[in-house]
Structure 1
């Protein structure tokens, strides 16, 4: 029956993507917590200051990336919900139609 479909949605892939996006968001959020942990490895005061400045600039871009990841994550979640809901509704209607015969 699946070969008769005009649209095939790989919900497993969408669920996996949703999970990966969540992990990416967590990693991006946790980067700020690791900034101070890395400071001893940066070396001299000048290098440490430069790296600190880089990290602070990175925070602006990181925030934008987190927003984008969240946005895509919401789209994926809505897609999953939409297609699984539509699939369940279609299955219900098919069962009704079969009983009516």
Structure 2
């Protein structure tokens, strides 16, 4: 069974991909922007804050309500459907964290 995407899971993924190019701070200069993909529909969503503005890191708040499973007492999304994965957009194409890390490594 797939695990629900949460802020804690995003943090763990950032730790796991640190120093590989699979995190925002390490691949921004290669043209990657943080995004999410719903694997059940193929829909890709840029990472946005709750007001709809782009943010330079993975943020669950800007995802559509139909993907959000839980919000905190302030209304911020803290868990989304398990079909949602964190990744990146570059030139209109979605890259998983591993694919982005591989691209960054190939550019070095």
TM-score calculated relative to the size of structure 1: 0.26
More strand by share: 2
More helix by share: 1
Larger Rg: 1
Select the structure with the greater relative contact order (CA < 8 A; seq sep ≥ 6): 1
